[in-house]
Amino acid sequence: MQNDLTSAAVQVSDFTGADTETLLECWNTALPLDGITREQLETRVLLDDSYEPGSLKVARRGGDIVGFITCFVLQKAIEKTGLREDTGFITAFGVAPGAELSGAGEALLHAADDFFRERNRRVVLLSPYTPNYFVPGIDKDRYTHLLNLLQSHGYLEFSEALAADALIGTFEIPGKTLALENELADEGIVIRHYRRDDLVPYMQFQRDLMPGPWIEDSRRNLREMAAGRFPEDAIWLAIDTRNHTGHRIIGFCQHEHEHFGPFGVADGYQGRGIGSVLLARTLYQMRLKGCHSAWVLWTGQRALDGVYGRLGFKLSRRFALLKKELA
């Protein structure tokens, strides 16, 4: 005999906000490594600039929420990206243990397809979304049941993102890195904290040389800085003091509490160790602020084997980035 979870009919409906605690309980049970709070639900989903009726859907069985999915189409253009008028985004998807056997996941995915088709989307991505993604995709080791369900529904893996962590409670800047920093200074490249007077050239550096989502991220943090909620010393810059015709800012690195990154160096300056110095300086600053660990949510194998690995980062999670072409 089937139990109540698998015998009752699944109903998918738009989230109304009336049973937030029940939704959070389902979310945190379905995605135990990616649980959220009410504040995160409100700021990253319900108050997203692109949220609209139907953006958050829930599956119910016998009155209980047993699954959820978020569906977004951009309402606000992202720099260098625009509105992505052919693309829809899923930022979170989960079903309660056992509910995938009863069709809750399939019902949610069909509802998401309908949502995106009604808005003339041809491609659906899970889940590289600016500004409010939770994780880069589906954890390939922890949520294999969700990955299998998505693949059976037509989703294909198009990229992989790696998460890495480092213990920094006793972190010291390596002697070789300090020597490299001095060599760079002799060449006119100075590594220092961001200053408020850097705002205009810093944002121009981001617009000209960094990916669009990073620009949005930088703008958000600088707004928080103006409001006194983000510290200047959370951002480090590489400055070419001898460049008087082009960009004087040629690299940056930042952290938000224990979350490290993003960081980047202009193409013409890569391969000289500037990124290593920026990373080490930021990790040391994090330690001074009382952080005992640092984590990066989205990197690749090359960076993990290189600059991250040299400073103690180790692989913690693998994510599959997924795409579906809608007929």
The answer to whether position 298 is within a domain reads no
Q: Do residues 257 and 205 both lie within one domain?
A: yes
Q: Do residues 21 and 108 both lie within one domain?
A: yes
Lowest mean pLDDT among 95-104, 161-170, 261-270: 95-104
What pLDDT, on a 0 to 100 scale, did the predictor assign at position 99? Answer: 73
The answer to whether position 316 is within a domain reads no
Q: Do residues 285 and 207 both lie within one domain?
A: yes
Distance CA 309, CA 277 (A): 14
Q: Is the pLDDT of residue 163 over 90?
A: yes
Q: Do residues 30 and 65 both lie within one domain?
A: yes
What pLDDT, on a 0 to 100 scale, did the predictor assign at position 3? Answer: 39
Tens of pLDDT, residue by residue over 6-46, are 446 899 999 999 899 999 999 999 999 999 999 999 999 99
Distance CA 16, CA 32 (A): 24
Q: Is the pLDDT of residue 162 over 90?
A: yes
Q: Do residues 131 and 214 both lie within one domain?
A: no
The answer to whether position 301 is within a domain reads no
Q: Do residues 183 and 287 both lie within one domain?
A: yes
User: Confidence band (pLDDT; 50, 70, 90) for 76?
Assistant: very high
Residue 95 burial (C-beta neighbours within 10 Å; 0-12, 13-18, 19+): buried
Q: Is the pLDDT of residue 312 over 60?
A: yes
The answer to whether position 49 is within a domain reads yes
Q: Do residues 216 and 112 both lie within one domain?
A: no
Q: Is the pLDDT of residue 84 over 60?
A: yes
Q: What is the mean pLDDT of residues 188-208?
A: 96
Tens of pLDDT, residue by residue over 260-289, are 989 999 999 999 999 999 999 999 999 999
Residue 23's domain is classified under what CATH number? 3.40.630.30
User: Confidence band (pLDDT; 50, 70, 90) for 2?
Assistant: very low
Count of the separate structural domains present in the chain: 2
The answer to whether position 297 is within a domain reads no
Residue with tokens 């379905």: 30
Look up residue 15 and give its amino acid. Answer: F
Mean pLDDT, the chain, integer = 94
What pLDDT, on a 0 to 100 scale, did the predictor assign at position 1? Answer: 28
Do residues 168 and 291 lie in contact, with contact meaning Cβ atoms separated by under 8 Å? yes
Residue 218: domain span: 169-291
User: Confidence band (pLDDT; 50, 70, 90) for 5?
Assistant: very low
Distance CA 260, CA 254 (A): 6
Tens of pLDDT, residue by residue over 118-155, are 999 999 999 889 889 999 999 999 999 999 999 999 99
Do β-strands 189-193 and 156-167 pair in parallel, antiparallel, or remain unpaired?
Answer: unpaired
What pLDDT, on a 0 to 100 scale, did the predictor assign at position 8? Answer: 66
Q: Do residues 10 and 149 both lie within one domain?
A: yes
Do residues 287 and 102 lie in contact, with contact meaning Cβ atoms separated by under 8 Å? no
Q: Do residues 142 and 283 both lie within one domain?
A: no
Given CA atoms 188, 193, 195, 200 in this order, what sign does their dihedral have?
positive
- Percentage of the residues of the chain whose pLDDT score is greater than 70: 98
